[in-house]
Every structure is written in C-alpha cells, then in structure tokens.
Structure 1
Amino acid sequence: MTVLFAIHAVDRTGALPVRLAHYDAHKAFLSDTTTHGVRIVMSGPLMSDDGEAMIGSLFLVEAPDRARVEAFNRADPFHSAGIWQSVTITRFLRRQG
C-alpha cells in the first residue's frame, strides 16, 4: 500500500543562482524516481508573491513509507547543493482532486 506525502522545501536566502546551476541535474533526478520507490504525483517550484522568483519546491509523492520519501529527498541534487533552508515532510490525506 502506498500513501501520499507532501514535501515542502524552502530555499535559503540567496540560493537562486545555485538553484539555477543545479536545475538540469534536479530535473534529470526527478525523471526516474523508481529507484527510490516513490512516484511523483505533482511537483514544482514555490514562487514569490509577485511570481518573479523561485523560492522553494513542493512535491506531492506516493510512497510505501516515510523512510523512502526521506531518502528520496536526501538524494535530490538540490538537497546535496544546500539549496533548501528547511524541508518539511508530512503525510497527506487526499479529500478532493
């Protein structure tokens, strides 16, 4: 059985140049998540209120347990590059959509 988890990652101040430098590696990493035992339901950047700057990342993933989600997150090139100031992983119960 798989369950849903939300990953809410907020960039550290001034991380945009590093984010852009690692974007291709991050995108390639997300292209095949089967080795981590997770499936991305939805993902994308968090944006500033004016819509001009990427300020973090949001993922909704399906996985058998939290440990796989944590391992998936640690393997992300953005994590390795130190882009995220904080990461919160929360189990999610879909009601609608």
Structure 2
Amino acid sequence: MPLFAVHALDAPNALPRRLELYADHRTHRDEGEAAGVRIIFGGPLQSDDGSEMIGSCFIVEAPDRETVDSFIANDPFMRQGVWGEVCVSRFLRRLG
C-alpha cells in the first residue's frame, strides 16, 4: 500500500485553537484505520527554538490519495481552521 507524507502548517495565531482541539484531533487520528488510513508516525512541527507548535507532520499508509484527502478534510484541525496550508505528497520510503 502506498505511503503519503502530510505536512500541515498552522494558520497564524492558531496555537490556542490547536490546544483547545487537541483531544478531538487525537480521537480522529486514532480512528484513522476505520477511514482507511494507517498512521505510520507523526507529531507536531515546532518553531526553531522548540518553544511553540506550528503545525503537524505525519506519514500515512492508504490505498490512494483520495482516502488521505478525505481523512485530512475531516480532521478537527482542518475543519476548525487550525491548519492553514496542507501539502500531501506520495512518499517513497528509502531509509528506516
């Protein structure tokens, strides 16, 4: 099954909303397999000094891009405007 990299940068001033919605985001993440997406690994992106979360990055396994797009579209971070810019790309694993 193909892998996809998801790189999501938060919208400006989204940190308070991110923190508020974290439990909902985690529930959605944990239900990924029911939506056809298996999360291989992921976590928050941080500012250069590590003091603030500024987005999310994860690698997922899914049958196709449409399944990943649907999973992302239904994430509370996406629906509630935490993520501003989201890039999804097919990913070819070479190491690890």
Range class of TM-score, shorter chain? over 0.9
- RMSD (Å) for aligned C-alpha atoms: 0.6
Letter in 1 for 2:54: I
Distance 1:39 1:11 in 2: 22
Match of 1:6 in 2: 5
Q: Which runs of 5+ in 2 are unaligned?
A: none
Match of 1:86 in 2: 85
1:56 pairs with 2:65: no
TM-score normalised per structure 1: 0.96
Distance 1:24 1:37 in 2: 21
Match of 1:25 in 2: 24
List, as ranges, runs of 4+ consecutive aligned residues in structure 1 with deviation greater than 6 Å.
Answer: none
Match of 2:42 in 1: 43
Q: Which runs of 5+ in 1 are unaligned?
A: none
TM-score normalised per structure 2: 0.97
Describe the SS at the equivalent of 1:22: helix
